[in-house]
């Protein structure tokens, strides 16, 4: 089911890529003898399974963009370089500058890509399924 976008929720994302498939819980009392990876943390931490997460880095040439699509889970985009654009169905086109993020809630139809005049490198993280739909028309892309 496709739903309309909601106000973005505040969030913090820490993406740890480690070869673990189990949840690891470290008690605060065990900190003094930590070594390796765990020596980099203070307090209780929990490293959760990220095997379902997908990530990609895509360079969009100026004017390039995705088709409309829907993720079954939330998606986080980060503009690593250049200037991008993104839009959720029924919402305004957002201009995304280097270092800015775009967060899409579950089941919201959207597209993203580069600015008409400038390329963009986008880093994307999501899980779940992805349902590709129709192409974004030039008029939709330009906001006409």
pLDDT digit string, tens, across residues 35-65: 788 889 998 888 889 999 999 999 999 999 9
Q: What residue has token string 């820490």? A: 14
139: phi then psi, degrees, rounded to nearest 5: -65, -45
Residue 62: strand, helix, or coil: coil
Q: Give, in words, the CATH class of 54-142.
A: mainly beta
pLDDT of 46 reads 86
From the list 80, 86, 96, the residue with the least C-alpha distance to 143 is 86
User: Residue 129: is its pLDDT beyond 80?
Assistant: yes
Which comes out higher in pLDDT, residue 43 or 98?
A: 98
Domain ranges of the chain: 13-51, 54-142
143: phi then psi, degrees, rounded to nearest 5: 75, 25
33: phi then psi, degrees, rounded to nearest 5: -100, 15
pTM of the model: 0.73
From the list 78, 84, 110, the residue with the least C-alpha distance to 96 is 84
What number is the average pLDDT over the span 109-119?
A: 98
DSSP lists the bridge partners of residue 70 as 131
């Amino acid at each position: 089911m496709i739903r309309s976008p909601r106000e973005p929720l505040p969030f913090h994302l820490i993406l740890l890529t480690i070869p673990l498939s189990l949840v690891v819980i470290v008690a605060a009392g065990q900190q003094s003898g930590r070594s390796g990876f765990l020596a980099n943390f203070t307090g209780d931490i929990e490293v959760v399974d990220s095997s379902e997460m997908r990530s990609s880095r895509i360079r969009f040439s100026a004017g390039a963009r995705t088709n409309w699509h829907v993720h079954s889970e939330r998606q986080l985009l980060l503009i690593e370089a250049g200037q991008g654009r993104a839009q959720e169905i029924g919402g305004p086109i957002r201009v995304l500058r280097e270092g800015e993020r775009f967060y899409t809630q579950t089941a919201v139809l959207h597209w993203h890509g580069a600015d008409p005049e400038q390329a963009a490198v986008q880093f994307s993280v999501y899980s779940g399924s992805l349902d590709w739909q129709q192409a974004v028309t030039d008029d939709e892309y330009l906001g006409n």
